[in-house]
Structures are given as C-alpha cells and as structure tokens.
Structure 1
Amino acid sequence: MNDKQQLRQQALARRRELGGEARERSSTAIRQRLLDMLAEDARLSGAPLLSYRSMDDEVDTAPLFDRLRATGREVFAPVTHHAGEMLWRQVDDGTRWQRGDFGVLEPASGELWRPDENPAVLLCPLVGFDRCGNRLGMGKGCFDRWLDGMKNHILLGVGLAFACQECPRIPAEAHDMPLDIIITEGETIACRNC
C-alpha cells in the first residue's frame, strides 16, 4: 500500500467515525461558511457554481443547490463516465437525478456549462486534504484529469471537508491540481503553495 492509499484509508475511517448528528451540524456550518464567502467576494458574485452531489458520509451538499439557485446563481452538477470524461449540466426545479457510472447522483438532462463563456467556482469532492490545497479523492483521478484542461475557466477551486479529514502532508504528483480554499466546520483555509 502506498502513502496516498494509506492516507486515504485513514481519512475515510476518521470521516466514518463522525456520528450522524455531528455530521449534519458540521455540514450546516460548512455550507454557511461557503455561502458567506460567495456573498462577500465581489469577484465571485454571479459566477456559476459547479458542485458535486455528496454521497454517504461526505459533507452534505444537497441543500446548496436550492439555496444558491434562490439567489439567482446558476448551479451545475457533473456527469462522469468511466472513461474519465466529465461534463456539467445545469440544475433547476425540474432536474431529474439518476445514478451515474460511479454511483453518484447526476442530472439526467439540463443545459451544459459553457466554460469559455462563464468561468465558475468549483466545489471539488475530497477524502483528505492538507493546508497546501492538495487533496485525496477516491483514487480514480476524474476531477484532476478534468481540472487539468479547465483550470483557466475556474475562478476558485474549493474543497468542503470535515476538520477530521485533514492530513499532515499529502504527496502531490505532477497531475494533481491543488485547491485554492478548503472550508471546514471550524475555519476557511486559504491554501498556500507549498
């Protein structure tokens, strides 16, 4: 087992240990920190949000879709294929959700995000993180591969995580794309280039 696999297993174990009530309380605090940041940062006002739908014991992102749309912000969710391709479909009141190739809820239809016309804020799923913005995903590399070609169209890359998911240092590889901000229930971390 390599370092990343071991760190991933440890971070997943810590996240699983959170009880349901603590997880919901922390998720609520994390979502509020994100909403406050988006409202206060003028360069992000009106920018569309690209957000994943949370699974299992991740920070619950489902309430964000309606809350952000209620402010007039366009929200898009990913559709991912086993080949590593990812596209983003707009979410609205009529969105029908279906399980995608990796078991994540994805919009069955909707307008596609046009990156050349509309740079966005990206919420990136993660299993573990460090203060340099390095993240551990589930190990498939979908977001990193996609982000490599889209980094010029992303205004801000944000990770939502519970504080218990922090790792001292995640080994970064050339293809890994660090995040700009990590939001936990206790703080908003401006990641530094390490």
Structure 2
Amino acid sequence: MTSEIPSRKKIRQKIRQLRHNLTPQQQQSAAEQVLNRLTQHPKIQAARHISLFISFDGEINTRPIVEAFWQQKKYVYLPVLHPFSRGNLLFLHYTPQTTMVAHPFGLVEPKLDVRHVLPVAELDVIITPMVAFDTRGHRLGMGGGYYDRTLEHWQRNQTYPIGIAHDCQRVDLLPSEDWDIPLPEIITPSQSWKW
C-alpha cells in the first residue's frame, strides 16, 4: 500500500458522507436506474434464488428491487450473521411475512429460522452492498469481511456476485489485501462495470 492511497477508514468516511449528501430525488432516481439495469441483466432474468440486502446509511434503496423480484416470482434471500460461525453469513428466504429483528449494527435482518436458510452455493446471484469500489472491481465494505468470506469461492459454483452502488462511490484505487475478493460486476445508476 502506498501513501498515495487513502486509508480504508478515510475512504469510508468520505464516501458515506457523499451518500448522505444525495437528495431524496437523487436517491430515488438512482434506485430506479439500478433497478432497471438489474431487471434487464441476463443473470438476473435467469435467476430463481437471489440474495439482496436491506439498504441503510444512504445505500441504493433495495426495497423497489425486492418488490420487483417478488413480482417476477423470484425467491429473495437476505443475509444474517451466522450465530455460531463468527464472521460468516447465512441467507434466509425473505417474504412479505418474514419477521424482522433489529441488529446491533443498526440494521434489520430476518429472524433466524433454520427452515428458511439456503446454502450459498444454491444462490444464483448475490447482490452485495459496499461503501466504495474501484476501477479494478475491488469493493470496500464496512470492515467485517462478511462478504469477502461468503464470496471466497464463488467461481466454484453457479453463484454470481453483483455489487450495486451509487456513482459517487467509485474511487480510482482502493487499498486491497490478499483476502479481498474483487467482484466480476458492479452496477451503478449510470453504468455496469465488468471485469
């Protein structure tokens, strides 16, 4: 890592502030554009089991995406922190009837019910959140490494990860470590980035 690349902490602070500065109209427009790109994406059109996330902290609003997927009769899954395997995620089937619970990080997630867990390898697409991304496909998350661990072996199965972000979340270069998993594709309101 060179001194020219800002620290992960500084990048997180800067990008989160940029997201918070977006107006409600900009947020709505961004969500509509990302939804349009996703629903036209061949991997999404072919998918039956898709993992999403409940947006917070100025992220792209995923509520319209969830509802569109439900209308298309797709099975939607949300991540929850694994209760016994620290640092790992489980993916629970999410419906309008799913009971949601508050999470210590300020998130909401489905109440854990093992009957609704789908193994990662059975997901067709995992739509990932991020704080920032760079022009090489590296993503910067909140710092827990949850998605890096989840996506570590994504090429071995049929699961395809797609990141979604605002245009303002792109930076030229992120500091990266050996354990960081670059994404094959990131969708923003203005374009789809593929590597």
TM-score band, normalised by shorter chain: 0.7 to 0.9
Deviates more, 1:94-103 or 1:16-25: 94-103
Alignment-mate amino acid for residue 62 of structure 1: R
Does residue 1:54 correspond to 2:55, yes or no? yes
**Conserved 8 A contact 1:44-1:121:** no
**Cα distance in 1 between the residues matched to 2:88 and 2:49:** 20
Hey, what's the Cα distance between the residues in 2 that align with 1:87 and 1:134? 22
- Cα deviations across residues 24-50 of structure 1 (Å, max 9, x unaligned)? 11111111111111xxx1686134111
Q: Is the 8 A contact 1:80 1:100 kept in 2?
A: no
Partners of 2:17 and 2:116 lie apart in 1 by 37
Q: Which one of the candidate residues 81, 85, 88 is aligned to 1:85? A: 88
* Structure 1 residue 153 displacement after superposition: 3.6
Cα pair 1:124 1:143 within 8 Å, conserved:
yes
| 2:118 counterpart residue number | 113
Q: State whether structure 2 residue 39 is matched by structure 1 residue 35.
A: yes
Match for residue 147 of structure 1? Answer: 151
Q: 1:152 to 1:102 in 2, by over 3 A?
A: farther
Which 4+ residue blocks in structure 1 deviate beyond 3 angstroms? none
Aligned-residue RMSD, C-alpha: 2.2
Are residues 1:185 and 2:189 paired? yes
Number of positions where the alignment pairs a residue of Structure 1 with one of Structure 2: 187
Q: Unpaired runs of 5+ in structure 1?
A: none
Q: Are the structure 2 counterparts of residues 52 and 154 from structure 1 closer, same or farther at C-alpha, using a change threshold of 3 Å?
A: farther
Judged with a 3 Å threshold, the aligned counterparts in structure 2 of structure 1 residues 157 and 125 are, in CA distance, closer, same or farther, namely same
Q: How far apart in 2 are the matches of 1:31 and 1:43?
A: 11
Percent identity at matched positions? 26
Distance 2:48 2:97 in 1: 22
3-state SS in 1 of match to 2:109: strand
Give the structure-1-normalised TM-score. 0.86
* Unaligned segments of structure 2, at least 5 residues: none
